[in-house]
């Protein structure tokens, strides 16, 4: 009887254990593993050169459903996105997007800058240690060697043991070289003049791949040698100023800045193939080449994430020539909208809908033409640098007995000769302050900061914060000038950029595709936030100089 009771007890315990094990196993199966990363087959980074945020809203009713509207309606729109440094120009812009930091860290402090070691001006990507590939000219002697840190494209390559490809494409060399990073499989840019070819540097390869050679020998480039007419009826371009006005520049050979622009007639006098850059056809040509790269490199064809970096440069050339209020600017964006739609449809077909991730931003924005603003009774105008130099030279001779104390004046920075200052038995910080106080008295100079201030303080907001993020201790100057809002050093026609003012810093930031939420925010985001956001999405290491933060709202 006792054995029977033990047997029943044992059976009960065993049954209870089996039930508990089954229940635990069921619960274990129901628990999903945490999502550590998103695995798009392809990331597409798009930088639109000189794009202001309000180009999205201003031209909205003219856009189709498959370009900008697709990104906004089906993706995430950061409406209050800004550059948090100056100068706001192309080289620093592309670098900051892809490194997740600012010139203070990555070292690209301008398109060109005065090199304190050599005493010469240097270009952000020039490198005579490499040779051109695809042309006999020097246009291919480029590399990213002046960029001090890694990019998001570098980190993806490292994470995938170099199996993931990075291809970078732009009309401008700096628009391809800097986003491609140090480890890109290739960066290609357009060499115009009398050649009209896509080229590269021996930094990447010794000869162009067959698909690039085939593209260069095709008639795709020749098809854009045609008049530039408006995409839509020009009378519907009510979001822009008059077609014929005094605020716009002219191509050589034109007498009025009006449509149509007869490119075949203007060809010889305007740089031949370089003429295409200052028309929407340059963006279309960039799209053509990016699609050729998509096929030629088999991007997004397997589960190892690839990266395609595209910069649309023609928007910058057109903005500089005509100004942000021109019908030419409106037309270039309407045509870019069609090129984006063409790109996304190709990605849907080649890579697969919801199998790729896109971000779109700019490298800087732009000011409205000051002459136009002034005519609208808005404070704006032009800073006469020659007048300042004459007055400043007189001051230097009077105060120090020499003008040699200033070695260079560029990018709104003054570089001083520290040896001469020492020979005068003066402290550099004292001389910086003396000169800053003098310059602050000049008309249309709004603020002046010294390198000593940049070293001694940590600014967290406003203009000094923006300047400090752009100040590199090894490369930047001794005195930093800020012009009065609305004032520029530039010809009386066309728009420019470069300042720490909000019209140069407010740029679009759109995310779309795999791993991206639908929505928008008006909370402030900053350009260095892009790289860590994409890094977080991919589950890879941040670029090694990152100072930005992931935008949590963007990610699923």
Please indicate, yes or no, if residue 180 is contained in any of the structural domains: yes
Instruction: Compute the average pLDDT of residues 15-34.
Output: 46
Q: How many domains does the chain have?
A: 2
Q: Are strands 76-78 and 509-513 parallel, antiparallel or unpaired?
A: antiparallel
Please indicate, yes or no, if residue 31 is contained in any of the structural domains: no
Question: Residues 294-315: pLDDT tens digits?
Answer: 999 999 999 999 999 999 999 9
Domain end residue (candidates: 432, 453, 483): 483
How far from each other are the two terminal CA atoms of the chain, in whole angstroms? 64
* Both structure tokens of 359: 């971000």
**Half-sphere exposure (Cβ direction) of 313: Cα atoms closer than 13 Å:** 23
Same domain, 396 and 247: no
So which residues are the catalytic ones? 90
Percentage above 70 pLDDT, the chain = 94
Residue 30 scores a pLDDT above 80: no
Question: Residues 193-234: pLDDT tens digits?
Answer: 999 999 999 999 999 999 999 999 998 999 999 999 999 999
DSSP letters of 364-375?
---PPPHHHHHH
Please indicate, yes or no, if residue 408 is contained in any of the structural domains: yes
Domain end residue (candidates: 429, 457, 483): 483
Please give the order of strands across the beta sheet that includes 413-416: 406-410, 413-416, 479-483, 445-450
Residue 3 scores a pLDDT above 80: no
DSSP letters of 474-521?
TTS-SEEEEEPTTEESS-SSS----SSSHHHHB--EEEEETTB-SEEE
Same domain, 435 and 344: no
Residue 435 scores a pLDDT above 50: yes
pLDDT band at 10 (very low <50, low <70, confident <90, very high): very low
Same domain, 118 and 176: yes
CATH number, domain of 543, equals 3.40.720.10
Which pLDDT belongs to residue 31? 46
Question: Which of 263, 262, 259 has its CA nearest to residue 242?
Answer: 259
Same domain, 336 and 393: no
Strands (E), 175-218: 186-191, 197-201
Please indicate, yes or no, if residue 34 is contained in any of the structural domains: no
Same domain, 542 and 477: no
**Residue reference for tokens 């050599």:** 118
Sign of the CA dihedral with 266 first, then 272, 278, and 282 last: positive
Domain end residue (candidates: 454, 483, 512): 483
Same domain, 272 and 338: yes
Same domain, 355 and 222: yes
Which pLDDT belongs to residue 36? 80
Which pLDDT belongs to residue 34? 58
Same domain, 407 and 363: no
CATH number, domain of 470, equals 3.30.1360.150
Same domain, 233 and 344: yes
Residue 403 scores a pLDDT above 70: yes
pLDDT band at 556 (very low <50, low <70, confident <90, very high): confident
Residue 387 scores a pLDDT above 90: no
Please indicate, yes or no, if residue 372 is contained in any of the structural domains: no
Which of helix, strand or coil describes residue 308? strand
Same domain, 92 and 197: yes
Please indicate, yes or no, if residue 539 is contained in any of the structural domains: yes
121 vs 358: CA distance, rounded Å: 36
For helices 90-99 and 530-538, angle between their N-to-C axes, nearest 10 degrees: 30
Same domain, 402 and 510: no
Beta bridge partners of 510: 77, 360
Please indicate, yes or no, if residue 312 is contained in any of the structural domains: yes
Contacts of 460 (CB under 8 A, 6+ apart): none
Please indicate, yes or no, if residue 326 is contained in any of the structural domains: yes
- What is the average pLDDT score of the chain? 94
Helix (H), strand (E) at residue 451: helix 451-456
Per the CB < 8 A criterion, the answer to whether 102 and 528 are in contact is yes
Same domain, 479 and 503: no
Contacts of 44 (CB under 8 A, 6+ apart): 307, 308, 309, 310, 343, 347, 356, 357, 358, 359
Number of other CB atoms surrounding residue 113 within 10 Å: 27
134 vs 197: CA distance, rounded Å: 8
Instruction: Compute the average pLDDT of residues 248-276.
Output: 98
Question: Residues 497-551: pLDDT tens digits?
Answer: 999 999 999 999 999 999 999 999 999 999 999 999 999 999 999 999 999 999 9
List the domain range (segments joined by +) for residue 216. 42-367+499-554
pLDDT band at 48 (very low <50, low <70, confident <90, very high): very high
């Amino acid at each position: 009887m006792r054995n029977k009771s033990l047997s029943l007890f044992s059976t009960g315990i065993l049954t209870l254990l089996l039930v508990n094990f089954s229940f635990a196993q069921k619960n274990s199966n129901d628990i999903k593993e945490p999502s550590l990363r998103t695995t798009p087959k392809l990331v597409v980074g798009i930088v639109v050169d000189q794009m202001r945020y309000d180009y999205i809203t201003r031209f909205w009713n003219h856009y189709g459903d498959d370009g900008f509207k697709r990104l906004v309606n089906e993706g995430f729109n950061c409406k209050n996105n800004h550059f948090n440094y100056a100068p706001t120009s192309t080289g620093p812009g592309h670098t900051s997007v892809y490194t997740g930091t600012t010139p203070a860290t990555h070292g690209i402090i301008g398109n060109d800058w005065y090199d304190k070691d050599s005493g010469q001006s240097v270009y952000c990507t020039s490198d005579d240690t490499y040779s051109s590939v695809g042309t006999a000219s020097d246009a291919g002697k480029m590399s990213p060697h002046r960029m001090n840190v890694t990019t998001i494209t570098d980190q993806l390559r490292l994470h995938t043991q170099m199996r993931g490809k990075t291809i970078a494409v732009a009309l401008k060399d700096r628009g391809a070289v800097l986003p491609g990073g140090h480890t890109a499989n290739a960066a290609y840019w357009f060499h115009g003049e009398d050649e009209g070819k896509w080229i590269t540097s021996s930094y990447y390869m010794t000869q162009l791949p067959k698909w690039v050679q085939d593209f260069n020998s095709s008639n795709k480039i020749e098809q854009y040698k045609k008049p530039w007419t408006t995409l839509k009826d020009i009378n519907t371009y009510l979001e822009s100023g008059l077609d014929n006005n005094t605020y716009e520049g002219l191509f050589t050979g034109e007498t009025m800045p009006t449509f149509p622009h007869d490119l075949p007639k203007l060809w010889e006098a305007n740089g031949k193939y370089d003429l295409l850059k200052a028309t929407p056809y340059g963006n279309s040509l960039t799209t053509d080449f990016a699609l050729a790269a998509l096929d030629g490199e088999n991007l997004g064809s397997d589960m190892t994430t690839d990266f395609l970096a595209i910069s649309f440069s023609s928007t910058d050339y057109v903005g500089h020539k005509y100004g942000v209020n021109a019908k030419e600017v409106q037309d270039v964006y309407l045509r870019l909208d069609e090129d984006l739609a063409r790109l996304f449809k190709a990605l849907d077909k080649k890579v697969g809908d919801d199998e790729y991730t896109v971000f779109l931003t700019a490298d800087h924005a732009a000011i409205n033409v000051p002459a136009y603003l002034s005519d609208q009774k808005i404070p704006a105008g032009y800073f006469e640098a020659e007048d300042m130099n004459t007055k400043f030279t007189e001051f230097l001779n009077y105060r120090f007995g020499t003008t040699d104390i200033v070695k260079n004046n560029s990018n709104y920075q003054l570089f001083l000769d520290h040896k001469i200052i020492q020979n005068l038995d003066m402290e550099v910080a004292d001389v910086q302050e003396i000169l800053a106080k003098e310059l602050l008295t000049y008309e249309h100079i709004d603020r002046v900061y010294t390198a000593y201030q940049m070293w001694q303080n940590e600014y967290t907001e406003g203009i000094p914060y923006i300047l400090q993020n752009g100040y590199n201790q090894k490369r930047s100057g001794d005195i930093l000038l800020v012009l009065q809002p609305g004032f520029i050093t530039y010809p009386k026609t066309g728009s420019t950029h470069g300042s720490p003012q909000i019209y140069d810093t407010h740029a679009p930031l759109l995310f779309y595709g795999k791993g991206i939420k639908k929505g928008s925010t008006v909370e402030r985001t900053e350009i260095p936030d892009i790289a860590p956001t994409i890094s977080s999405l991919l589950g890879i290491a941040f670029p090694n100089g990152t100072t930005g933060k992931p935008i949590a709202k963007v990610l699923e």
